[in-house]
């Protein structure tokens, strides 16, 4: 038998979906198994189909939902979620029209399975190991948690996939991120990924696909793995991946769109092959000691500007690189923070629990357990936004909504909400928020708003204290 | 897509690293279903004050920026969100090329697909160009996509590299969909080999 070179997980998925290999003059033609669509990045792509008289090639591999510009305000007496923004209403109507015209399945606002695109794909069992998955959204990297090759694309590429079920791609490099050890009580998957990004920076993985390995990764639940893979893009990576294992298979079993019966056995045998071969080599390797990770929080205006929650904010004058110094000065000016300041104890105005990073049932359970019988500080507005209608129903079934409501938090409908601030949920200028979302860019949560990214536990602890709090104090870890 | 062969233009410098696409075009302007009309809100929150008036200190509001088709920025330009509205906004404003020492992957793809040329040059070259613009705002640069060269007024040149396929499409002014659509027989054959695989 011919000796084959050991392959990375990425290489296996790449090879498996290659219709035409790349050459010097042409990129590879890569087949897409699942294309997720939402209202914001698809209208101009459907326009391309219309202009050229093209159809959607595989409506059975395409799935649309409404999440970005959708309000999360409670339903009216008619049971519908009111959309007051004229532009948002037109955009949502356009998606409905496009999906009707082209035969694309759509979960409309407030319907049974509607939710954030990266929450519903996995929870309905559409997302499976070994797949290529794309969406006009950078956080498509989330689905890599299942051992899928999943990445965000632009709207022109959305049109490419709609029309041909394929993409033109250059092969990426790979970076192994090995995390061994055990996360301390009060430390979550969110802290793990924030720590990684703080170490390698927001451009640290540009051009690479991350393959997460190690005992700390293996110990994570599927939802925690999604949190990690979700933010791979914040390090500049195209995608993040975790090889599937029993945790993955257990999560998938019984999901509405997962295979059943004999098909399940066939699929399972195939899925088990999606691991990196022994001896497969990566272009780069980063090693992180999970034991050393503390609850993390960002202080600046990109997700790489993160520190342990009890550490001082960095001091610009201590940076030797002029460009980095300037960036830090600008970030601290925007955030109205002092060099060396300790964020613990800093009052905040808003706490946001939600987004494709941290709006799944386990995130809500974690926060609810910390908030049971307690009150959100009177100076704080807390929004709890489930990632999908399914998560919302599940949370309500478990009484989590009652815990949040009793604490004085707002219990909202499913959507991206304050993570993207284009749906009515936003910070006022100058407000501080602790958010479980993924981006703290200037204005990301509303013009002039100031975001501290953190875990759901840190968010819950902060909501109660009214000030940035150490999650370890509420789980007895310290 | 408008062909891109050569560009002869002045430049403006945004001396910041990690400029994310939320700054290039804030999310609240993404409720459009059109690709046109985004240029007015390019860098909206850096460009306008709370009352909507132009901030004079912001580089795009300086007189010399009005006609510049070249933007020079710090490393990791276009990071964050995959929104193609970012290159649409830059093109809508009038930019045809962006120079940086590094581009975020999705932004670079989106730019190339729309005829906005991302020119990756080593950091010292970006610094030289930025310094020159600071000294002589009227300095004109010549970008030649055929030769893949970036020329300073004095004749000094920097070579850059663009993916050959994207370069071909930009030179011809054709988008990439036509090429993909012609692969239909190969795509159909591939699908037949994967029957039964989800």
pLDDT digits over A363-382, tens only?
Answer: 999 999 999 999 999 999 99
Collect all residues of chain A within an 8 Å Cβ-Cβ radius of residue B106: 138, 152-154, 238
pLDDT in tens, B104-138: 999 999 999 999 999 999 999 999 999 999 999 99
CB-CB under 8 Å, B27 with A421: yes
According to the model, what pLDDT value does residue A477 have? 41
Q: pLDDT band at residue A476, thresholds of 50, 70 and 90? A: low
Alpha carbon of B185 to those of A58, B126, B181: distances in Å? 15, 45, 9
Alpha carbon of A361 to those of A9, A331, A431: distances in Å? 28, 33, 28
Q: Is it the case that residue A117 has pLDDT exceeding 50? A: yes
Collect all residues of chain B within an 8 Å Cβ-Cβ radius of residue A91: 31-33
Q: pLDDT band at residue B195, thresholds of 50, 70 and 90? A: confident
The two structure tokens encoding residue A108: 């409309």
Collect all residues of chain A within an 8 Å Cβ-Cβ radius of residue B76: 202-203, 206, 236
Find the residue in B nearest to A137 (Cα): B82
Q: Is A59 on the interface with B (CB under 8 A)?
A: no
Give me the mean pLDDT over the A43-58 stretch: 98
Q: Looking at the DSSP assignment, which residues form a beta bridge with residue A450?
A: A432
Q: Is it the case that residue A296 has pLDDT exceeding 80? A: yes
Q: Is B177 on the interface with A (CB under 8 A)?
A: yes
Q: Look at the block and give the residue holding tokens 């497969």.
A: A280
CATH topology of domain B6-194: Aconitase; domain 4 (3.20.19)
Q: Is B80 on the interface with A (CB under 8 A)?
A: yes
Give me the mean pLDDT over the B133-156 stretch: 97
Q: How far apart are CA A303 and CA A270, in angstroms?
A: 36
Average pLDDT over all residues of chain B = 96
Q: Is A439 on the interface with B (CB under 8 A)?
A: yes
Q: What is the number of CB-based contacts under 8 A between chain A and chain B?
A: 185
Q: Is it the case that residue B196 has pLDDT exceeding 80? A: no
Q: Look at the block and give the residue holding tokens 């189909």.
A: A49
Domain parsing of chain B, residue ranges? 6-194
pTM metric for this prediction: 0.97
According to the model, what pLDDT value does residue A478 have? 38
The interaxial angle of helices A43-52 and A155-164, nearest 10 deg, is 50
pLDDT in tens, A177-210: 999 999 999 999 999 999 999 999 999 999 999 9
Q: Is it the case that residue A475 has pLDDT exceeding 90? A: no
**Which of A163, A168, A422 has its CB closest to that of B27?**
A422
Q: pLDDT band at residue A346, thresholds of 50, 70 and 90? A: very high
Collect all residues of chain A within an 8 Å Cβ-Cβ radius of residue B163: 27, 170
Q: What is the ipTM of this complex?
A: 0.97
pLDDT in tens, A313-329: 999 999 999 999 999 99
Average pLDDT over all residues of chain A = 97
Number of Cβ within 10 Å of residue B96's Cβ equals 18
pLDDT in tens, B53-106: 999 999 999 998 999 999 999 999 999 999 999 999 999 999 999 999 999 999
Give me the mean pLDDT over the A115-127 stretch: 98
The closest of B173, B37, B35 to B93, measured between CA atoms, is B37
Q: pLDDT band at residue A2, thresholds of 50, 70 and 90? A: low
Collect all residues of chain A within an 8 Å Cβ-Cβ radius of residue B50: 429, 448
Q: Is A92 on the interface with B (CB under 8 A)?
A: no
Give me the mean pLDDT over the A58-84 stretch: 95
pLDDT in tens, A224-250: 999 999 999 999 999 999 999 999 999
| 3 state SS of A279 | coil
Q: How far apart are CA A242 and CA A149, in angstroms?
A: 10
Taking the CA of residue A266 and the nearest CA in chain B, the distance in Å comes to: 9
CA angle A323, A328, A330 (to 5 degrees): 95
**Percent of chain A clearing pLDDT 90 (strictly above):** 97
């Amino acid at each position: 038998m011919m000796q084959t070179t050991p392959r990375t997980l990425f290489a296996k998925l790449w090879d498996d979906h290659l219709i035409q290999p790349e050459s010097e003059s042409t990129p590879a033609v890569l087949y897409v198994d699942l294309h997720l669509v939402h209202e914001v990045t698809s209208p101009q792509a459907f326009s391309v189909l219309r202009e050229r008289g093209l159809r959607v090639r595989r409506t059975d591999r395409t799935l649309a939902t409404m999440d970005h510009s959708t309000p999360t305000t409670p339903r009216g007496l008619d049971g519908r979620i009111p959309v007051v923004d004229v532009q948002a209403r037109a955009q949502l109507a356009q998606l409905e029209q496009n999906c009707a015209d082209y035969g694309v399945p759509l979960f409309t606002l407030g319907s049974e399975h509607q939710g954030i695109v990266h929450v519903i794909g996995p929870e309905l069992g559409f997302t499976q190991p070994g797949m290529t998955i794309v969406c006009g959204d950078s956080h498509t990297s989330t689905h890599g948690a299942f051992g899928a090759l999943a990445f965000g694309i632009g709207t022109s590429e959305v049109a490419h996939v709609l029309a041909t079920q394929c993409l033109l791609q250059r092969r990426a490099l790979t970076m192994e991120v090995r995390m061994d050890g055990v996360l301390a009580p009060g430390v979550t998957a969110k802290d793990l990924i924030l720590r990684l990004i703080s170490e390698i920076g927001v451009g640290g993985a540009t051009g690479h696909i991350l393959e997460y390995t190690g005992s700390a990764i293996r110990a994570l639940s599927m939802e925690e793995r999604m949190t990690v893979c979700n933010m791979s893009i914040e390090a500049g990576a195209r995608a993040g991946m975790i090889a599937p294992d029993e945790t993955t298979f257990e999560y998938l079993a019984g999901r509405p769109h997962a295979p059943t019966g004999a098909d399940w056995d066939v699929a399972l045998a195939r899925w088990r092959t999606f691991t990196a071969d022994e001896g497969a080599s990566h272009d780069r390797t980063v090693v992180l000691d999970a034991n050393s990770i503390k609850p993390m929080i960002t202080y600046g205006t990109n997700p790489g500007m993160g520190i342990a929650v009890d550490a001082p904010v960095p001091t610009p004058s201590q940076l030797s690189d002029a460009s980095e110094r300037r960036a830090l000065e600008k970030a601290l000016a925007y955030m109205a923070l002092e060099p060396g300041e300790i964020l613990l104890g800093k009052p905040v105005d808003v706490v946001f629990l939600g987004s494709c990073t941290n709006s799944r049932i386990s995130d809500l359970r974690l926060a609810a357990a910390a908030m049971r019988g307690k009150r959100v500080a009177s100076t704080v507005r807390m929004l709890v936004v489930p990632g999908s209608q399914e998560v919302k129903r599940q949370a309500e079934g478990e009484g989590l909504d009652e815990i949040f409501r009793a604490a004085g938090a707002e219990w909202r409908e499913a959507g991206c909400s304050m993570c993207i601030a284009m749906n009515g949920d936003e910070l006022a200028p100058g407000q501080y928020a602790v958010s479980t979302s993924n981006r703290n860019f200037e204005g990301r949560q509303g013009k002039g708003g100031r975001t501290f990214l953190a875990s759901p536990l840190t968010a819950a602890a902060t909501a109660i204290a009214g000030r940035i709090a150490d999650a370890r104090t509420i789980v007895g870890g310290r | 897509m408008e062909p891109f062969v050569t560009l002869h233009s002045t430049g403006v410098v945004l001396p910041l690293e990690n400029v994310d696409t939320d700054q290039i075009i804030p999310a609240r302007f993404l409720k459009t279903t059109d690709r046109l009309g985004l240029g007015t809100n390019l860098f909206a929150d850096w460009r306008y004050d709370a009352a909507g008036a132009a901030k004079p200190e912001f580089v795009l509001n300086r007189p010399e920026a009005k006609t510049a088709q070249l933007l020079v920025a710090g490393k990791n330009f276009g990071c964050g969100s995959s929104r193609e509205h970012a290159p649409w906004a830059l093109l809508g404003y009038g930019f045809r090329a962006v120079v940086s020492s590094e581009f975020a992957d999705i932004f670079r793809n989106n730019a190339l697909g729309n005829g906005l040329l991302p020119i990756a040059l080593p950091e010292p070259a970006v610094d030289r160009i930025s310094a020159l613009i600071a000294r002589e705002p009227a300095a004109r640069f010549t970008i030649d996509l055929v030769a893949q060269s970036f020329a300073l007024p004095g004749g000094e040149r920097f070579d850059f590299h663009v993916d050959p396929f994207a370069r071909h499409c930009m030179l011809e002014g054709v988008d990439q969909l036509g090429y993909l659509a012609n692969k239909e027989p190969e795509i159909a054959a591939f699908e037949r080999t994967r029957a039964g695989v989800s």
